Amino acid sequence: MININDAKRKRHSEEGIGYIPVFNNGIFSISHVFLGPKESVPLHKHQKTHHIYFAEKGDITLVIDGKQSILREKSYIEIQPGKAHKVTNNGIGEAQFITFEMPPDDEDIEMIEEQK
């Protein structure tokens, strides 16, 4: 059992997005992601990885293939392979979401926009 409150957060880079890797069996993975106010995951896409994002705390703004929408707290969305997507916390507090990735592959990413 993993209690998210007790887990140590990691960062994708020194100034990158905070996350906790929860599970990875090579078939699918689960991560808990933390976005501070005005923080974003830059626009990128995957060739073979499906994502499901579940907004755990706060609302997040998603841009998927140029179309913007709001993922409300306690809602989820699927992002299919090949779809360019960006996630932004436009709120004043921390937003948290859970990502499910099938299959998990750290190499399957094409950055379209750089981290600011």
Task: Provide the edge-to-edge strand list for the sheet that holds 40-45.
Answer: 67-71, 60-64, 85-88, 40-45, 110-111
Distance from C-alpha of 107 to C-alpha of 34, rounded to nearest angstrom: 21
How big is the CA angle at 25 (ends 24 and 27), to the nearest 5 degrees?
105
SS3 content of the chain, % helix, strand, coil (to 5): 5, 50, 45
- Per-residue pLDDT at 106: 86
Each domain of the chain, given as residue ranges in start order, spans 31-102
**Which tens digits make up the pLDDT trace of 55-95?**
999 999 999 999 999 999 999 999 999 999 999 999 999 99
* Model confidence band, residue 114 (pLDDT cutoffs 50, 70, 90): confident
Superfamily covering domain 31-102: Jelly Rolls (2.60.120.10)
- 6-62 pLDDT, tens digit each: 666 666 655 568 898 888 999 999 999 999 999 999 999 999 999 999 999 999 999
Give residue for tokens 């960062």: 11
